[in-house]
Structure 1
Amino acid sequence: MKGKLIGDILVLKQPVDNPQELLNIPGVNRAVRLGRIKGLKREPEVEILLGEGTETIHRENHCLYKLDVARIMWSKGNTTERKRMGQIVRPGETVVDLFAGIGYFTIPMAVHGQPEKIYAVEINPVAHGYLKENVHLNQVQDVVEPILGNCREVAPRNIADRVLMGYIGNTEEYLDVAMEVIKNKGIIHYHESVPDKLKYIRPAERIKEAANGFEVEILNQRIVKKYSPGVYHMVVDAQVYKK
C-alpha cells in the first residue's frame, strides 16, 4: 500500500477497504486519505480513515516538526536536503530563509549547526504558526526569528551570509530579493523544478541573470528528487560576490 507516514499518521491517496488493518503497520495510530486539491487556499479534501485529528509531530534527523497533514505539505523526498542543510551551515553565519514554511530547512540548520541568527520568513499564516511552535519545540528560539509576510516586503536586506530559497513554484521571481538580502559575499541555495534536458543549465543561468553583473560561482548542482515525469526538483548552491 502506497502512503507516507508523517508522525503517527499514515497519509494515503487511495481508498481503503478495512482501515483497522492499517494499525498493523509499525508506527501507525491514525490514517487519512487526501483527495482533490481545491479552493484558493489549495487545501486537499480530507477523509479521516482511522483515529481522530490531523495534527501530529513528525520526527526526523533529531528534529521535531509539528504540522497538520491536511493543511501543510510534507515531502519525504526532501529528507536528504533537509539533512544537508543541517550540515552545511557554518558557525556564526546569519541565514535568511525566504520561504521557511514550518521550518523545513531552518530547524535542522538551527539544531545541528551553529548559526548566529536565522531569519525565517513565511507568507502563509498557518505555516507561520507551526514554524513558531517548531522553533520552541526544538528549543532554538535564541537563534531563529520567525517573520510573517511576503519576503519581498519583510526580509531583512544586506545581512545574510546564506540565503535559502527552498520553494518550488515561481521561485525565480524572487532571485532579485535574494541578491538584496545577501551581504557583499554569500551563498544562495536556489530550488527549481526543471525539465530533464535543462536541469543542469536553466537554474544556474537564472541565478547569473538575476545577479545583474555581480560575480557568481556555481558551487554545486544536485537533484533533490524526481518532481514529475521528465521534470526534476533541483537545488543549486551559488556563491555571489557583490563587490
Structure 2
Amino acid sequence: MSKRQIENQEKIRGFMLSKKLWTESLTGELPRFYEKFGDMLIFTDPTFQNGKWHEAGDELWKLVCSLYNGKRIGLKSRIKNDDFRTPQARLVFGDSPHTDFKDNKIRYTWNIEKNMFCAGNITERHRIASLNCKGEVVVDLFAGIGYFTLPYLVHANAKFVHACEWNPDAVEALKKNLILNKVSEKCAVHFGDNREVCPKGVADRVNLGLIPSSRCSWETACDALLPSGGILYIHENVTSNLNIKNDCHMAITRFQPLTKHSR
C-alpha cells in the first residue's frame, strides 16, 4: 500500500477509536481498494461490512469522502450469479445511487444498485474505439449500459449498431447513454434474449462481450453476420496462457459447423 493509503486507514481507525467503536476485527475491513465514478466512491466487500461502521453513521462517511475526494459512497459485494449479472451494491451515503462517469470522451450514467460498470474492460473499450468501422453495421449481443456499443458509435464511426440486452434496468441506462452521447439515431436497442431478438444477416462485426463465456450465443452471432461473412469478437475467461492456443483452436472447430448452418 502507498503511504497515503496507510495514512487514510490510520485516520479512519483513529475516528473509530474516538467513538469507542474500534475492535481489531475491523482491521481487515479498512479500505485498500476502491473505484471512483464522478463523485461516487465504491468500496468492495469486505470493506465497511461490519455493523459497527454503520453505527458511526454519517460522520464516518463524511470523513471517508474527505479522505478519498468523493461526495457519495456505495458498498458492493460479488455480482449475483444470475442471468442479469445483478450487482449487489447499495448507497450508504449521498442523495442518489445514479452516477455519471466520462471515459475516453464518452459519458456513461447508471444506477449502482441496479447496473454494473466493469472498469476492468477499459482496455477492450479503448481498443474498439481505435477501430475504423466507417460504413459498417455492428451487432452488440450483450450491450449492457453501452460499454462497447458507445465506443463503436462515438469513436469507431460505425454506421449503425444493433444493441441487444435483456436486463430492463440496463436497457433504461443504455437508452439514456445513447442520448447523452448524441448517437441514439444510429442505434436500435433490441430488448430481450439475443437468441430471440437479434436481427439476422446484417452485421459486418458482432461483439460477444460476455464473461465468463459467450458460447450460449455463438450460433446467434453467426446468424447475425452478413451472408458474405464478417468479424466476431469472442469474449471468454481463460485460466492460463498455456490454454489460450487450445481454447482458440476449440472455438474455431466449434464455429465451423455453425457458419455452414447459418449461411
TM-score higher than 0.5: yes
Tell me by how many angstroms 1:29 deviates: 1.4
Aligned twin of 1:12: 43
Contact 1:89 1:114 in 2 (8 A): yes
Distance 1:20 1:102, change over 3 A: same
Aligned twin of 2:196: 153
Aligned twin of 1:201: 246
Contact 2:89 2:112 in 1 (8 A): no
Does 2:63 align with 1:21? Answer: yes
- The letter of the residue matching 1:10 is L
More displaced 10-residue stretch of structure 1: 49-58 or 110-119: 49-58
Tell me by how many angstroms 1:96 deviates: 0.4
Structure 2: segments with no counterpart, 5+ residues: 1-31
- In the alignment, the residues of structure 2 paired with residue 145 and residue 177 of structure 1 have an alpha-carbon distance, to the nearest angstrom, of 17
Structure with greater helix share of residues? 2
Tell me by how many angstroms 1:47 deviates: 4.4
Does 2:73 align with 1:31? Answer: yes
Tell me by how many angstroms 1:43 deviates: 4.1
The partner residue of 1:92 within 99, 119, 135 is 135
Aligned twin of 2:178: 135
Structure with greater strand share of residues? 1
Structure 1: segments with no counterpart, 5+ residues: 216-241
Tell me by how many angstroms 1:46 deviates: 4.0
Contact 1:192 1:203 in 2 (8 A): no
Aligned twin of 2:26: none
Contact 1:176 1:211 in 2 (8 A): no
Aligned twin of 2:211: 168
More displaced 10-residue stretch of structure 1: 30-39 or 122-131: 30-39
Distance 1:204 1:110, change over 3 A: farther
Cα deviations by residue, 1:38-69 (Å, 9 ceiling, x for unpaired): 69666455443321221111110000111111
SS in 2 for 1:109: helix
RMSD: 2.4
Tell me by how many angstroms 1:214 deviates: 4.9
Aligned twin of 1:229: none
SS in 2 for 1:169: coil
More displaced 10-residue stretch of structure 1: 34-43 or 44-53: 34-43
Tell me by how many angstroms 1:176 deviates: 0.9
Cα deviations by residue, 1:97-150 (Å, 9 ceiling, x for unpaired): 011001100001111122111000101111011111111010001211111011
Aligned twin of 1:113: 156
Distance 1:172 1:203, change over 3 A: farther
Contact 2:201 2:224 in 1 (8 A): yes
Which gives a bigger RCO, structure 1 or 2 (Cα 8 Å, sep 6+)? 1
Aligned twin of 1:189: 233
Tell me by how many angstroms 1:210 deviates: 2.1
Percent sequence identity over aligned pairs: 30
TM-score, structure 1 as length reference: 0.81
Aligned twin of 1:58: 101
Residues matched between the structures, number: 217
More displaced 10-residue stretch of structure 1: 13-22 or 135-144: 13-22
Tell me by how many angstroms 1:211 deviates: 2.6
